[in-house]
Structure 1
Amino acid sequence: MASTHIMLTRAMAAGIVAQGVLVAGANLSPVDTFYPPGLNSTSYITSSGLGTYGGIYTAPANEASQGSPYGVYDYCSMPHPRVNGYELPSDRHAKLVYLEYMQRHQRRTMYNLAPGGENQPFDCSSFEAYLYGSQAHGANGVQAFASVYTDPSNPFVDALPYINSTCFFPQLTTGGFLDGIQHGKDLWALYGEKLGLIPSSPNNKVWLRSSSATLTQQSAGGVLRGLWPHYSGSAPLHQQAGVDTVNSGYPCNARSSILSSIQSTDEWNEHLSVTAELRQSLGDILGATSSAWQSTFDHFSDNFQARLCNGYELPCSFTDASKCVSQQQAEEVFRAGDWEWNHYWRNNSLVTKYIQVTEGLFIGEIVRRLQAVSGKTQKYVYAHTFIHDGDIGPILGALGIDQLRWPAMASNIAIEVWETTVQQKKAYYARVLYSGHTLRSIHGNMDWIPLNQLIDILQVYVPENIVALCNS
């Protein structure tokens, strides 16, 4: 289970952050934990006094998150819009007419297992990953689910570092699924019961979509169960076959070449220089010395986050139990991950083009749905897309977020469109919420802006010819 130090960190945060949490001499409000002012500098990575900058990185095993103070950057289960803490717009005559909602999947097991072997078994025996087919409108039958096992006669079991686990890597965990149910319940209480927008069951006014990854489909299973707990029918979760416009699902040579350029800058090399000792130490402990582990903090962050967010401890060496990753090392890894995500999507000279080749097609889909609302041709009132951190990050970059920490588990963007009357004419205004709070952007706080202005902000990142751009 989580170490005493980590559990104490969470308990302290839960107890005092509502009044402000002390980080490096600064008294932070909950929302401040999303926006570290020094995130453009590598000193953010190396300043050990920052700790997690008020962020929370622990959650219990096989249980729903206990819930952090609303608004706090909680990597394991980000806040989301809910009745308690939600503020209506100042225009009391406005009516909510459309909601574009995007979220990352809930907490999960890791993608990246330690190359030297995992010293703790992961248990997913309480989670049933359903994967069955049905004839359209046919009767329900056996509902088969995937169950992990290892055949002891498999000769490769002993040839590789053994992972004693009942999990797939990655997969949603029971805790993530339960968090998803609560996520859905809160969305219904706010946008269904209170604001009267979401219908009481899925119908032709609702658009549901996920990436083609199992993770996002599993997450949808939890959220939609919480959203419509009394609905027993089926509902289409739309996915794009073959070439997906999310999760880097289409071929694009320019994407990798731009990323290579970003990772060749003086700023990038500086962040590698100041973390050289940390990366070498972690590599020695975990056998993680390949370029995949050493060139960015993606793999280390992924492994540590998945452990702490599901009730496990930080890893130790598979061959020497006395060599373990420390809390301080993990915190520096998390700060380095924040720095990298901010650098990718906010703080480099190629950011506009990088967003275009990575997320431009999906941003274009968002823009067209918003344009349909503006043109009074939109048949949906609620669109919900289940995606990944690699989608949420560039969308936030396109919206001009002030600073961008790693988009955490279940991080979410809600674009609300409100109809009101201005000079006796119908007018549409938008509010953009990031994980439940009004987005702090270079364009100002996005609490009430003309819908067409928001469309113009996003339109910059929609490429005119993505095929030509990707081949350039």
Structure 2
Amino acid sequence: MILPLLALAAPAYAVSAVDSFYPPNIEDLSWITNGSLGTYGGLYSAPASAASEPSPYGAYDYCSMPHPRAQEYVLPAPVQNGSVKAQLVYLEYLQRHQRRTPYNILPGGENEEYHCDDILPYLYAGPASSTAQQPLRVYAKTYSDPANPFLDDYVNGTCQYPQLTIGGLLDGYQHGRDLWAVYGDRLGFLPRTPEDGRRVWFRSSSSALTQDSAGGVLRGLWPHYSGAVPLHQQAASVDTVNEGYSCAAEDTVLDAIEASDEWEAHLAATASLRDDLATMFDANTSAWMSTYDHFSDNFQARLCNGYELPCSRANLSECVTQAQAEEIFRAGDWMWDYWYRASANATSYITLLEGLFIGEIVNRLQAVADSKGEQTLQYSHNFIHDGDIGPVLGALGIKALRWPGMGSNIAFEIWKTEDDLFSRVLYSGHPLQTTHGMLEWVSLADLIAILQPFVPDDIITLCNA
């Protein structure tokens, strides 16, 4: 049974929508421990079986992050004010999958069931030849067998963990419709169908989450298209997204990041909270206590799909409070900012973890530069994960990095003037605020120069060092 939705309240003081992305004190421990900050304008709620309600545009809405929308979209400032004439010639779009069930089930099990009967994950393969016999359409129908003794310490219901929820799929449809309204209807940039594989390129990780999200978003973009669309993936064990390839140096650098004085201080600042949660959920293990990933993931997935915060199965009157959840979310923000921006090892970590994927983006941007905007490929859309979006934002020099929410997105727009190529980088629909300044109208060469240092010359040597 799905319980009434518990929405996390915004702080008492006002935070503008865009400012909610860039807390000025996110590097300080006070960002974590100051309960009066609340969610700092962030939103952490969404309905169970419906699309997310549009949030104040630009607000940090973890369950359904903003994206380019026709109602608010404005042209780059020099184009808008008429000082230059330019046309969009290339769009590189990155997005996290839409909302889902949790990766991390609480130790000892969950106090309520999860149900996913309202979404059908299709599972079938077919021959490449359209004249060959086609398969029967089958979908996964998850169930809980009461005779299975392992369910006692798990969770009853009809979901796989994680999996896209119906709310996430509906959010994907809307995401795609909004992209078409901007880049199709308004700018006349996107093709009427996705058939021409030379002009469009779609990519995902090997995860069902990103693949299922792609189906929803692309249907929103092309609601009447009846053909099939290739969604490119690399082999999972060598994938350049979603931590696909093995790299020993990644662990070495991460260990150094998490052995720093700053890291130890932020753990000490939340010792009381983590002790309370460890007792409540029998979670006194390294996986649950050494970072905020597991608790954040569990709480986020609940609130983003119409569930309440969890209660102890040993004492159902002992439940996670709003204040505790808010502190966990702020600690998660601090953690992401430290991993990919504030740590002394952030550049090395990004290079090892995401440098190959950043290199793929740079190669496509360089192809636009080399052809002076006359390249064949116009639109590349990548369906990836928070662990890919965060490092790319770190490489771009984002001014402050909160945990990239569901459907979070980066749009690299390349515009051609009579004399040159310029770029604009939008994060969740707004020009990205960075240590290099606002990425509103910078030369394409300068954008490539920002990203290039994170592209490894020899990743094999770096990983084995």
TM-score normalised by the shorter chain: which range applies? over 0.9
Counterpart in the other structure of 1:96: 88
Q: Which moved more, 1:131-140 or 1:226-235?
A: 131-140
Cα shift at 1:413: 0.2
Cα shift at 1:66: 1.0
Q: Would the aligned equivalents of 1:369 and 1:378 in 2 still touch at CA under 8 Å? A: no
What secondary structure is seen at the aligned counterpart in 1 of 2:418? strand
Structure 1 segment 330-341 matched on structure 2, within 5 A: 330-341=325-336
Q: Which residue of 186, 204, 211 corresponds with 1:210?
A: 204
AA of the residue aligned to 1:321: L
Residue 346 (str. 1) matches residue 341 (str. 2): yes
Counterpart in the other structure of 1:86: 73
- 1:190-220, CA deviations, whole angstroms, 9 ceiling, x for partnerless residues? 1011111111111221000000111100110
What secondary structure is seen at the aligned counterpart in 2 of 1:146? coil
Cα shift at 1:319: 1.8
Residues 162 and 252 of structure 1: CA distance in aligned 2, closer, same or farther (over 3 Å): closer
Residues 88 and 291 of structure 1: CA distance in aligned 2, closer, same or farther (over 3 Å): same
Q: Would the aligned equivalents of 1:64 and 1:175 in 2 still touch at CA under 8 Å? A: yes
Q: Would the aligned equivalents of 2:125 and 2:135 in 1 still touch at CA under 8 Å? A: no
Cα shift at 1:340: 0.2
Cα shift at 1:28: 2.3
Distance 1:406 1:78 in 2: 11
Q: Would the aligned equivalents of 1:149 and 1:166 in 2 still touch at CA under 8 Å? A: yes
Cα shift at 1:143: 1.4
Q: Would the aligned equivalents of 2:17 and 2:60 in 1 still touch at CA under 8 Å? A: yes
Distance 2:434 2:150 in 1: 51
Q: Which residue of 367, 375, 398 corresponds with 2:370?
A: 375
Counterpart in the other structure of 1:201: 193
Distance 1:237 1:409 in 2: 20
What secondary structure is seen at the aligned counterpart in 2 of 1:114? coil
Cα shift at 1:141: 4.4
Cα shift at 1:153: 4.0
Structure 1 segment 320-339 matched on structure 2, within 5 A: 320-339=315-334
Distance 1:392 1:311 in 2: 25
Distance 1:287 1:206 in 2: 49
Counterpart in the other structure of 1:297: 292
AA of the residue aligned to 1:66: E
Distance 2:149 2:435 in 1: 56
Counterpart in the other structure of 1:42: 29
Distance 1:73 1:101 in 2: 19
Residue 145 (str. 1) matches residue 147 (str. 2): no
Structure 1 segment 111-150 matched on structure 2, within 5 A: 111-138=103-130, 140-150=134-144
Counterpart in the other structure of 1:275: 270
Runs of 4 or more consecutive aligned structure 1 residues displaced over 6 Å after TM superposition = none
Residues 2 and 32 of structure 1: CA distance in aligned 2, closer, same or farther (over 3 Å): farther
Q: Would the aligned equivalents of 1:103 and 1:385 in 2 still touch at CA under 8 Å? A: yes
AA of the residue aligned to 2:106: A
Residue 166 (str. 1) matches residue 158 (str. 2): yes
Residue 236 (str. 1) matches residue 263 (str. 2): no
Residues 126 and 431 of structure 1: CA distance in aligned 2, closer, same or farther (over 3 Å): same
Residue 388 (str. 1) matches residue 412 (str. 2): no
Distance 1:162 1:247 in 2: 26
AA of the residue aligned to 1:434: Y
Distance 1:99 1:2 in 2: 41
What secondary structure is seen at the aligned counterpart in 1 of 2:362? helix
Distance 1:70 1:295 in 2: 34
Q: Would the aligned equivalents of 1:2 and 1:308 in 2 still touch at CA under 8 Å? A: no
- 1:341-375, CA deviations, whole angstroms, 9 ceiling, x for partnerless residues? 00000001111111000000000000000000011
Residues 319 and 174 of structure 1: CA distance in aligned 2, closer, same or farther (over 3 Å): same
AA of the residue aligned to 2:291: T
- 1:243-269, CA deviations, whole angstroms, 9 ceiling, x for partnerless residues? 100011001000000000000011000
AA of the residue aligned to 1:143: R
Distance 1:60 1:469 in 2: 45
AA of the residue aligned to 1:108: R
Distance 2:203 2:358 in 1: 14
Residues 300 and 156 of structure 1: CA distance in aligned 2, closer, same or farther (over 3 Å): closer
What secondary structure is seen at the aligned counterpart in 2 of 1:102? strand
What TM-score do the two structures reach when normalised by structure 2?
0.95
Percent identity reads 58
Q: Would the aligned equivalents of 2:7 and 2:44 in 1 still touch at CA under 8 Å? A: no
Counterpart in the other structure of 2:424: 431
Distance 2:310 2:75 in 1: 45
Cα shift at 1:289: 1.1
The root-mean-square deviation of aligned C-alpha atoms, in Å, is: 1.4
Cα shift at 1:68: 0.6
- 1:113-132, CA deviations, whole angstroms, 9 ceiling, x for partnerless residues? 00021001011000100111
Q: Would the aligned equivalents of 2:281 and 2:312 in 1 still touch at CA under 8 Å? A: yes
Q: How many residue pairs were aligned?
A: 452
AA of the residue aligned to 1:174: I
Q: Which residue of 64, 68, 77 corresponds with 1:77?
A: 64
Q: Would the aligned equivalents of 1:71 and 1:436 in 2 still touch at CA under 8 Å? A: yes
- 1:384-421, CA deviations, whole angstroms, 9 ceiling, x for partnerless residues? 00000000000000000000000010000000000002
What secondary structure is seen at the aligned counterpart in 1 of 2:342? coil
Cα shift at 1:151: 3.2
Distance 1:292 1:403 in 2: 26
Counterpart in the other structure of 1:16: none
Residue 450 (str. 1) matches residue 443 (str. 2): yes
Q: Would the aligned equivalents of 2:7 and 2:303 in 1 still touch at CA under 8 Å? A: no
Distance 1:32 1:248 in 2: 30
Cα shift at 1:314: 0.2
Distance 2:167 2:7 in 1: 17
- 1:299-321, CA deviations, whole angstroms, 9 ceiling, x for partnerless residues? 00000000000000000001210
What TM-score do the two structures reach when normalised by structure 1?
0.93
Distance 1:322 1:294 in 2: 23
Residues 8 and 254 of structure 1: CA distance in aligned 2, closer, same or farther (over 3 Å): closer
AA of the residue aligned to 2:321: S
